[in-house]
Amino acid sequence: MHYASSGQKKAPTRPIVAARRRRQLHPFFFQMGPVALTISSVLLIALMALLYLSQLSQALNVNQQIQDYQAKQAVLQRQNQDLVNTLAQEQSPAYIAAHAQAQGLVPADPKAVEVLEVPGLQSVPDQQSGVAP
């Protein structure tokens, strides 16, 4: 041990530095009293509950929107299928012939058809590529 010239003991510095470090490492809530710690805990739990309820309500809203979109999609698919069926029916030869007769049109008699030949007129080449004019 070292003695100062005045005859007093010199305090060791190492334990004091270690104690200061321990105090710095301790979180502040260890220094809080039981009432302050309880109030802080209740506030944190309430905040977490609010965040949970907020997320839950957002999830429910998104789920409702998804159900609405799925219902709209089902209605649109039914309408599309009805239109496809109507189009197929109206493009059928029997439907076209029935409506043509209802409007007074009759099929042409091949014997009564007259073909006119125009001199100098070139004939239309056959479409072998499958493209209709």
Q: Residue 29 has what DSSP assignment?
A: G
Q: In degrees, to the nearest 5, what angle opens at C-alpha 130 toward C-alphas 127 and 126?
A: 10
Cα separation, 14 vs 122, in Å, equals 116
pLDDT, tens digit (0-9, with 9 covering 90-100), for 93-128:
999 999 999 999 988 888 888 888 888 888 777 766
Q: Which pLDDT score, from 0 to 100, does residue 120 have?
A: 87
Whether residue 33 is predicted with pLDDT greater than 90 in this model: the reply is: no
Cα separation, 6 vs 41, in Å, equals 53
DSSP 16-49: HHHHHHHHHHS-GGGSS-HHHHHHHHHHHHHHHH
Computed on alpha carbons and rounded to an integer, the radius of gyration of the chain in Å comes to 47
Whether the model pTM is above 0.85: no
Whether residue 66 is predicted with pLDDT greater than 80 in this model: the reply is: yes
Nearest Cα neighbor of 40 from 52, 51, 54, 30 is: 30
